[in-house]
């Protein structure tokens, strides 16, 4: 791996090392500080909403900056500061506010890292998938190590781990390539007109295709554990099922740079959507455990191929001055609005149909696949074939 790729891998690794512990275990820390379940839920939701609001601001900053790295340095420092302030914090309202701010600042840089890394991969000649795989691997390490520490030392250990990871992320942000570029015409137009110019028909179709297919994971994320437990699957096996999905994601990312280098972005999106339809349809039938493991391996297609498909599309068809903004809009839709909607619907589906509720996720997956097909048709026009 070339030096720029190693630098991005280090930052992804440090970022997800903290994120992998923050997501599941900060609620444990908040409970230890006396927050009720309702307050913990509000704080977590506030952080998610905050990321949706903060990411576009950071994206506009990165797109207009002559050094893209500066935005990531700023977000990393803000996230670390927020987590450090949590350590001495007391009082429910103050803790809730700080958790929201820290979560928004730290998590809000995710689409910015992706936009910067995928562009650098094209110019510096490294495989983006292998770089991103480092983040998936350390996310699992954060899950496992954070859980072990919480089991021995309680929730305070989770915050200590998160602070340590966030501090590493600050350091690795300074190691990133500067990402220097000369200002382009239109860079100053970062207001509403700048955002509107980004939304061409292909961009809209790509965002909808990826967002809908990824949002179809809503039932899986929220209720698969409960559905499998109702089928009599033991807790250790359920954990292994989740681990299988992450391992499949890591392997797919690692080999994608060589195996899928010539696969068009639209093919990745359409393939991810088709695999998603099959996966949710079969899971709705409550298959035996050995089939569940095979279907978990399909996470490499339903999530990872879709994720890479949008990143590749954005790198090839979105002008450089709008790159981070495109990622921010995509993240807000795929991981925010649409995922929240499918998760909410999933609660109703699970209550009525149990594991059969997986079938409801066929709808967004199919709609996303149709958008992917429409995108492939739109990109056949001569003016869309050349990358900007």
Q: Domain 3-175, what fold?
A: Growth Hormone; Chain: A; (1.20.1250)
As a whole number, mean pLDDT of residues 354-382 equals 92
Q: What is the pLDDT of residue 195?
A: 55
Residues 368 and 210 sit within 8 Å (Cβ to Cβ): yes
Q: Please tell me the CATH code under which domain 192-384 is placed.
A: 1.20.1250.20
Give the tokens for residue 47.
Answer: 């952080």
Q: What CA–CA distances, in Å, run from 300 to 85, 110, 256, 297, 334?
A: 37, 20, 11, 6, 17
Give the whole-angstrom CA distance, residue 152 versus residue 175: 34
Which of 304, 315, 332, 251 minimizes the C-alpha distance to 118? 315
Q: Which residue has the tokens 């991810």?
A: 272
pLDDT digits (tens, 9 = 90+) for 204-220: 899 999 999 999 998 88
3-175 and 192-384, same CATH topology: yes
pLDDT at 238 over 60: yes
What number of other Cβ atoms are within 10 A of residue 2's Cβ? 12
Q: Which residue has the tokens 């698969």?
A: 224
pLDDT at 318 over 90: no
| Backbone dihedral region for residue 210 (phi beyond 0: left; psi -120 to 50: alpha; all else: beta) | alpha
pLDDT digits (tens, 9 = 90+) for 76-135: 999 999 999 999 988 888 988 898 899 888 988 888 888 888 888 878 878 888 888 888
pLDDT digits (tens, 9 = 90+) for 25-63: 888 888 888 888 778 777 877 777 777 788 888 888 887
Residue ranges covered by each domain of the chain:
3-175, 192-384
Give the tokens for residue 3.
Answer: 């030096």
Task: Specify the pTM.
Answer: 0.79
Give SS3 for 171.
Answer: helix
């Amino acid at each position: 791996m070339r030096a720029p790729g190693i630098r991005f891998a280090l930052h992804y690794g440090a970022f997800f090392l903290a994120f992998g512990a923050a997501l599941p275990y900060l609620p444990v820390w908040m409970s230890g500080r006396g927050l009720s379940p309702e307050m913990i839920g509000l704080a977590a939701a506030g952080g998610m909403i905050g990321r949706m609001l903060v990411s576009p601001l950071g994206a506009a900053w990165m797109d207009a900056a002559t050094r893209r790295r500066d935005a990531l340095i700023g977000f990393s420092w803000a996230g670390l500061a927020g987590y450090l302030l949590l350590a001495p914090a007391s009082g429910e309202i103050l803790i809730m506010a700080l958790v929201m701010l820290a979560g928004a600042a730290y998590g809000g840089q995710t689409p910015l890292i992706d936009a910067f890394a995928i562009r650098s991969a094209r110019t510096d000649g490294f495989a983006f998938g292998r770089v991103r795989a480092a983040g998936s691997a350390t996310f699992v390490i954060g899950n496992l190590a954070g859980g072990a520490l919480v089991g021995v030392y309680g929730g305070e250990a989770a915050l200590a781990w998160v602070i340590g990871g966030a501090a590493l992320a600050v350091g690795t942000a300074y190691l990133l390539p500067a990402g220097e570029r000369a200002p382009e015409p239109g860079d100053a137009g970062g207001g509403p007109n700048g955002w509107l110019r980004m939304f061409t028909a292909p961009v809209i179709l790509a965002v909808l295709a990826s967002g809908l297919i990824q949002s179809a994971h809503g039932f899986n994320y929220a209720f698969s554990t409960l559905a499998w437990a109702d089928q009599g699957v033991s807790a250790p096996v359920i954990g292994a099922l989740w681990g299988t999905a992450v391992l499949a994601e890591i392997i797919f990312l690692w080999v994608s740079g060589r195996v899928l280098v010539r696969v068009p972005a639209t093919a990745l999106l359409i393939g991810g959507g088709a695999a998603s339809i099959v996966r949710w349809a079969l899971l709705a039938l409550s298959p035996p455990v050995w089939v569940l493991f095979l279907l978990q391996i399909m996470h490499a297609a339903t999530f990872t191929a879709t994720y890479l498909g949008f990143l590749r599309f954005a790198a090839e068809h979105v002008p450089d001055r709008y790159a981070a903004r495109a990622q921010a809009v995509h993240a807000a839709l795929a991981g925010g609005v649409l995922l929240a909607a499918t998760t909410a619907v999933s609660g109703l589906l699970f209550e009525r149909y149990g594991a059969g509720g997986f079938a409801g996720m066929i709808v967004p997956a199919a709609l996303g696949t149709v958008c992917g097909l429409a995108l492939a048709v739109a990109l056949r026009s001569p003016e869309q074939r050349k990358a900007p």
